[in-house]
Structure 1
Amino acid sequence: MSSSEGGCVNKAFEGADDGFHTIDLRTSRRDGGSDRLQLPGPGEETDVTDGVDAVTVKHRTLECGWGMFRPKWLQRFRTAKWALFWLCWAGAIQGMVVNGFVNVVITTIEKRFGLRSMQTGVIAGGYDMASFVCLAPVTYLGGRSSASKPRWLGLGVVLMGAGSLLFALPHFLVSPYRIAGEEPDDLCANQTMSSQRCQGDVSSEGGSWAVVIFVAAQLLHGAGATPLFTLGVTYIDENVSKKMSSVYLGVYYTMAVVGPALGYVLGGQMLKIYTDFVTVDSNALGITPGSSVWIGAWWVGFILSALLCLVVALPLLAFPYELPGADEIRASKVSEAHEGAASKSAAFSALHELPRAAAALLKNPTFLFLNLAGASEGMLISGFAAFLPKLMENQFSVSASQAALLLGVITVPAGGGGTFIGGWLVKRWRLTCAGIIKLCVAATVLAGAFTFSFVLTCDDYPFAGVTVKYNSPAIPGADRLTATCNAACGCTEARFSPVCAADGVVYYSACHAGCTRRLHDAAPHLYADCACVTPPQGTALPVYQLEGAANSSIPYEAINNICSTECPYLWLFVFLAFCVMLFTFLATMPALSATLRCVREDQRSFALGIQWIKVRLLGTIPAPLLFGFLIDLSCSLWDKSCGTTGACLLYDNVNMSRYMLALALVGKFCSVLFFFLAWWFYRPPGGRNGNAVVPSIDLVVCNEKPNNGNIANGNISNGNPGRIGNGYCNAALECSDHL
């Protein structure tokens, strides 16, 4: 193409032996001439300002390293696969901490610090509160062409590590954990000094100060994790082909789901270790992990995760702002943005234009309804992730470590498998945006069908004075935990230490069971001569076999362990929960792909930020508060030590199950409705069939689009060229208005 011919030069027609292509750019001048510009070499970025005869060349290195330290051997890791590797670790750690460790220890910190479910709901929601505040500035500033996404990602991981250290801090600010079994006054001894004893038992462990620290830690977690699933996603998408993008993102999100599974499993194992294991021998206290008053080492996992964050942050900070070949990948992609006013909006580059950029996205109905569907799904995922372990503990009488282990085991194949399968199906079926949304509808309908698993419920275990009456007459005017059999014992509610009696009834403490003698001081504590316990006639007392002593056993009337219950629904519930999780996460990867495809490329980082703001504002922030409120409503017995209300000690299983079922059904119905509306209002660009497979088109760069030109022999000749701006041209030299 000669220099007298304006328009564009197809780079497919030019080349050199060294493998580099030169693209001829011309900027129109008033005198009818043109300025030839040549793109810079590797490692440089050229900004051509529309309407201004100026070019700013910024020398930005594409080498891996930190500051001036960029050794040659490190450059072998400058690939999309290695970037994905470290991003997967970062996503896994985030999931392990926020959706694993935090959720596993909810019930433990409730007992340790005397918190209600509403308070722990605030703690769980702190993560999303920080994300809500940080998403817009992080995605807008980090998504600019001049920003380094890996730098934002690395600094975010460092913040997460700081948050983990802060979350573990309350353990070191309180005195060692005390239980009633440590003291001889847990027996019935005709005492009348319960008020003085209560006064001496008041500790500084409970309340608001612990909540403040936990929320502050969660705020750091949320701020640090903000770039991971916004800038991290776009960094992957910008540096891999469109064909492989779904696979890479599927692997990334799969590891993000494996993270919570690791958190559940590892956190559950940590809860088997006594919280003060460094200074206290739990065997000397007479309690085991099966005891209701057991407090596990909830804080250890956060210390380990803080160290892992520092290890992962270093390689992330070493990656360049983009990987080699990113320019060619961008040029090979065809837009599937929703056809409408928003698709014709100009790019926004200044911070004061942020409201206009947000308004342009909100005019996209497909994007809007995908956001609302994400909010309803986020509400369910966030709420059940925080309180499903508590539900299993109370419904099926399993320990906190057992509940965490069960959830961890099903999360790996269900959550991780569902996420990966969703991304694979998009690639396997070569789905376009409309087809992807249909897949989301189908998966959500199937997940909604399995939410009826919450119909399964087990009977409340008999608790003396709460769910069943004492065997002896009640005393008029006395509290419900007091009867004639223990009225003279002077029992206090200062410390909850339940015992399982030989009659199958649970009592608030050995004192409330009327027990006057302790048979075994080591773990577990065994009691005898219990006035309130009446074993069934014709049955012998239960016997405890001493470890390491042949033919040595002790008959007892009460033991400080949880009563075993006959509930056949545990494994059926686990299977149905697996199905709900599988189909829920199967829709996450396609929903993300649909979100990225229904907006323009230059809107993607900001679009993900706006989407996550809506998901958090409408879904994940209120979810823990709503779930915690309803769970508190199902409480049958509160800890009222010395006149102050603390954690719930006993829940009504039927009410808890009904509340969870109602939330699940309403949430899934809203998700299906919003996904359907997103598909209904979607308009593919150019009037194409929304389900048609979009072929790849070779693109060339041009700077002008002729108003009255004609195409002949592969060249564009201009009669009276009018400058419109930079654009894309396909192999047929058909140009669009924007890059």
Structure 2
Amino acid sequence: MALSKVTWFFMVFGLVYFLESIGGFYMTSAVVFIEKQFQIPSRLSGTMVSAGDFAYIPVVIFTSYFGGKGNRARWIGAGCILISIANFMVASSNFLFPVEKTNVTAHIPATLIHQINRDLILKTPFNSSDHLWLETLQKRIDPMNRVKMTYEGDSAADLLQKFVEYCYYNNGTDICNDLEKGISEKFPVTEAQISNVRAMVALPYGFCNSMLNYVRADHYACKGDHSNLGPFMMIFGGLLVLGVGRTMPFSLGLPLIDDNCKKQNLPLYFSFMFFVKILGPVIGLLVGGQLNKLYYDFNPPQGLTPLDPMWIGCWWLGFLIFGALLFGPSVVLYCFPSDDLDANAPEKLDEKGKPMKRLNLVDRHVKKDAQGNAIMPGTAKEKFKDFTSTISTLIKNKIFVGAMLGRIVDVLAFKGYFVFMGKYLELQFGVPQFKIQRYIASTGIVGFAIGVMLGSFSMRKLKLQGRKAAGWVAICSLVAALISFANGTVGCESVIGQIGNKVKEFGTDFDTCRDDCLCKETPFYPVCDVYGDVYYSPCHAGCLIGWNNYSIFNAEQGKMNIPVFQNCDCVEGRLKEVSRTYCKTDECESQFNRFFMHQALGAIFGGLAVVPGMLIVLRAVPPEHRSVSLGFNGFLVSLLATLPSPIIWGKIIDLSCLVWQKTCDGHGSCSIYDTDELRVRLHLIYGGLRIFSLLSDIWVFIWAKGLKLIEEPDEPPAEEEAEEVPKRKETLQNAAERVERTAHELEQLIDSRGS
């Protein structure tokens, strides 16, 4: 059986709406890695995420006003094409602004090279001149002759190694300069040995070695114009374009569905639409979780795994994938033909000979001419007057204003909290991002989807109208807010939290048992000993470089090689080893699961209020103002909520920062947080805002008496109304004539009886 044009349209529209919703939430899984790759603090990344709202705010009202009077499919298709282009722009920042690769060009001491390549010294034979040179050094280093020197080959090599270790602690003295010169002559440095040192400098962790850390600090010193402004502006610009594009699908899509389905089926259609809108983020987060297992350049540094805080997932690949998938269907929707653009076209019949349902892409509540085109005010002054008159009508609507204010406060609380949820969970529970994204998708968003479906079913089953629906929304919002307070009690001492506690106790100068390690500039790479004690890095644990034939990569967990560092002087006990695998995580894993149990329950109650709340907004205004009401609602929500929310929440998170990473132009991203303070502050503010929004729900409840949401009689299409007007006029005229004749006959009858 051939599908009707209406069916084909809803299939294409549903696909576009689904793909648009995937990319819309994918940014939340990428923002934490964008911060790390380009060293952007949370307050700036929050501003970056809000870029879409900078564009959305001035565009959405005009889009909904003019788009509602035109071919809405074309407007929605054009918007989604812009969203596709925006995804490509965001992904391009990875290629236009690559992170500087390690290329050590500074002078590398020969003693450092031979510390790392120790076997070369031990296997090299020594002749008499070498022995004489060693004896001279011995007298200069040890005038009291406390270390007896032998002239056996192996013993001479061992003694030379001791001299190298001596210069490890006394670098820059005349003795060590002579030693450097002699070693360079005896053991010429090869390119392979220099490459080995470069690889050590590029490792994501640091050893207890002053010369190696000196070379690392010298390499990473600011020698040029390195700034995060370029990638920040590119991503900001892409999200601006995305903000323009996303003004169309929602504000024009809901009225479009309303024009092409029966009123009693609206809750079902809306629930399906919201289900698609929710399924998209689920898919996006699941795909993001898989992509986050990949390193952003597909070549992770040796020993770095997704478990480590410095891991950068392949965030940009998702934007490329979603942008490519969205582009094709958006073009099809842009070119989709409309039945109501040709009012004079002959009526089409289905296989049973019955008239086929017409596809109304132009709002059927607006005035149209004989060709079916919307009648727009002529001059710019008339258009502005009509526009301001519509907005004035909306502002005077008490139910609409109350529902809008409640949504503003809810979005202000939720948007920024959700954007940084992945980062918060990684800090609080020490869980890798790919696992966090799976949990958010499978509990929070799926729970929200279940709530939306149950809310739609409850409306039809309980026949929620007016105050009943408003009371339903208020109760569900209250329960969701109380559950959010409960999550403020769910926390644990993760690895980052334990290091944060040490910072609060001892300050930012991390304590290590050896002052000669020069650990201050080493990367953040938390490790633990077998007893569970946490260290900022292997350097802070006093782990020496190059011993035991470099056998530090001897532990495996699944497919990830997790290094075990040996000979760590700062570890108390017999087994002087540290590794990430030794960190105790049982308590954090159980608390992590408890957090998401609360999250799923809160999401269900939040979803229960979605369909009733949206129908209250839609039914509280006249039909011809629906598109503008949604656009105006979106304008104010963006201006007062979605725009400032990520910026505010980014600043809230930064307030709990204890240690900032340094960049050439100031602070980079934060590496250590006070996780307890962050947990309490985050959930008190979030829950408090949700409670505050209940005031608007009470306002709507007061004024919602008699408001009809469902079971309204179907309104006839505009074309049928136009055809019925002459018939109605003719019927009324005939009735008037009959009444007039009857009255005249009755008057004659009365006169005859009276005579």
After superposition, the Cα gap between the structure-2 partners of 1:392 and 1:504, relative to the gap in structure 1 and judged at 3 Å, is same
1:517 aligns with 2:542: no
**Cα deviations by residue, 1:235-287 (Å, 9 ceiling, x for unpaired):** 1111111112221121111110111111111101100011111xx3x3x6122
After superposition, the Cα gap between the structure-2 partners of 1:233 and 1:492, relative to the gap in structure 1 and judged at 3 Å, is same
Residue identity over aligned pairs, in percent, reads 23
After superposition, the Cα gap between the structure-2 partners of 1:469 and 1:305, relative to the gap in structure 1 and judged at 3 Å, is closer
Alignment of 1:631-710 (within 5 A): 631-641=653-663, 644-682=666-704, 684=706, 694=712
Deviation at 1:129, TM superposition (A): 2.3
Please name the residue that 1:174 is paired with: 98
1:138 aligns with 2:72: no
After superposition, the Cα gap between the structure-2 partners of 1:362 and 1:503, relative to the gap in structure 1 and judged at 3 Å, is same
How many residue pairs were aligned?
595
Supply the distance in 2 between the matched residues of 1:319 and 1:104 (Cα, whole angstroms): 33
Greater relative contact order, per chain length (Cα 8 Å cut-off, separation 6+): 2
Supply the distance in 1 between the matched residues of 2:279 and 2:436 (Cα, whole angstroms): 17
1:148 aligns with 2:170: no
Select between 689-698 and 112-121 the one with higher mean Cα deviation: 689-698
For residue 320 of structure 1, what is the amino acid of its counterpart?
P
5+ unaligned residues in a row in structure 1: which ranges?
Answer: 1-72, 334-347, 542-555, 720-739
Deviation at 1:521, TM superposition (A): 5.7
Please name the residue that 1:456 is paired with: 490
Aligned match for 1:366, one of 387, 399, 402: 399
TM-score by length of 1: 0.73
1:234–1:605: 8 Å Cα contact kept in structure 2? yes
Please name the residue that 1:438 is paired with: 471
Secondary structure of the residue that 1:350 maps to in structure 2?
Answer: helix
**Cα deviations by residue, 1:353-400 (Å, 9 ceiling, x for unpaired):** 322221111010100011111112222331222011112111111001
After superposition, the Cα gap between the structure-2 partners of 1:224 and 1:691, relative to the gap in structure 1 and judged at 3 Å, is closer
Aligned match for 2:258, one of 237, 241, 259: 237
Please name the residue that 2:535 is paired with: 507
Secondary structure of the residue that 1:293 maps to in structure 2?
Answer: coil
Secondary structure of the residue that 1:649 maps to in structure 2?
Answer: strand
Deviation at 1:197, TM superposition (A): 2.6
Supply the distance in 1 between the matched residues of 2:244 and 2:263 (Cα, whole angstroms): 29
Deviation at 1:576, TM superposition (A): 0.7
1:98 aligns with 2:115: no
Secondary structure of the residue that 1:646 maps to in structure 2?
Answer: strand
2:264–2:710: 8 Å Cα contact kept in structure 1? no
Select between 560-569 and 214-223 the one with higher mean Cα deviation: 560-569
Select between 186-195 and 594-603 the one with higher mean Cα deviation: 186-195
Supply the distance in 1 between the matched residues of 2:360 and 2:15 (Cα, whole angstroms): 28
TM-score by length of 2: 0.72
Deviation at 1:106, TM superposition (A): 1.6
Structure whose residues are more often strand by fraction: 1
1:294 aligns with 2:219: no
After superposition, the Cα gap between the structure-2 partners of 1:331 and 1:569, relative to the gap in structure 1 and judged at 3 Å, is closer
After superposition, the Cα gap between the structure-2 partners of 1:170 and 1:506, relative to the gap in structure 1 and judged at 3 Å, is farther
Supply the distance in 2 between the matched residues of 1:625 and 1:265 (Cα, whole angstroms): 26
Alignment of 1:397-436 (within 5 A): 397-436=430-469
2:501–2:674: 8 Å Cα contact kept in structure 1? no
Select between 431-440 and 214-223 the one with higher mean Cα deviation: 431-440
Deviation at 1:124, TM superposition (A): 1.7
Alignment of 1:724-739 (within 5 A): none
Please identify the structure whose Cα radius of gyration is greater.
2
Supply the distance in 2 between the matched residues of 1:716 and 1:358 (Cα, whole angstroms): 44
5+ unaligned residues in a row in structure 2: which ranges?
Answer: 103-198, 341-355, 366-380, 554-560, 741-755
Supply the distance in 1 between the matched residues of 2:329 and 2:508 (Cα, whole angstroms): 55
After superposition, the Cα gap between the structure-2 partners of 1:649 and 1:598, relative to the gap in structure 1 and judged at 3 Å, is same
Please name the residue that 2:330 is paired with: 313
For residue 502 of structure 2, what is the amino acid of its counterpart?
V
2:452–2:608: 8 Å Cα contact kept in structure 1? yes
For residue 174 of structure 1, what is the amino acid of its counterpart?
P
1:260–1:408: 8 Å Cα contact kept in structure 2? yes
Supply the distance in 2 between the matched residues of 1:596 and 1:417 (Cα, whole angstroms): 22
Aligned match for 1:527, one of 543, 565, 575: 565
1:267–1:401: 8 Å Cα contact kept in structure 2? yes
For residue 612 of structure 1, what is the amino acid of its counterpart?
G
1:160 aligns with 2:83: yes
Deviation at 1:712, TM superposition (A): 11
For residue 565 of structure 2, what is the amino acid of its counterpart?
Y
Supply the distance in 2 between the matched residues of 1:713 and 1:416 (Cα, whole angstroms): 56
Secondary structure of the residue that 2:668 maps to in structure 1?
Answer: coil
Secondary structure of the residue that 1:481 maps to in structure 2?
Answer: coil
Alignment of 1:90-129 (within 5 A): 90-99=16-25, 101-129=26-54
Please name the residue that 2:245 is paired with: 224
Deviation at 1:111, TM superposition (A): 1.1
Please name the residue that 2:236 is paired with: 215
For residue 323 of structure 2, what is the amino acid of its counterpart?
A
Deviation at 1:713, TM superposition (A): 9.4
For residue 625 of structure 1, what is the amino acid of its counterpart?
I
Deviation at 1:83, TM superposition (A): 2.9
Please name the residue that 1:78 is paired with: 5
1:503–1:534: 8 Å Cα contact kept in structure 2? no
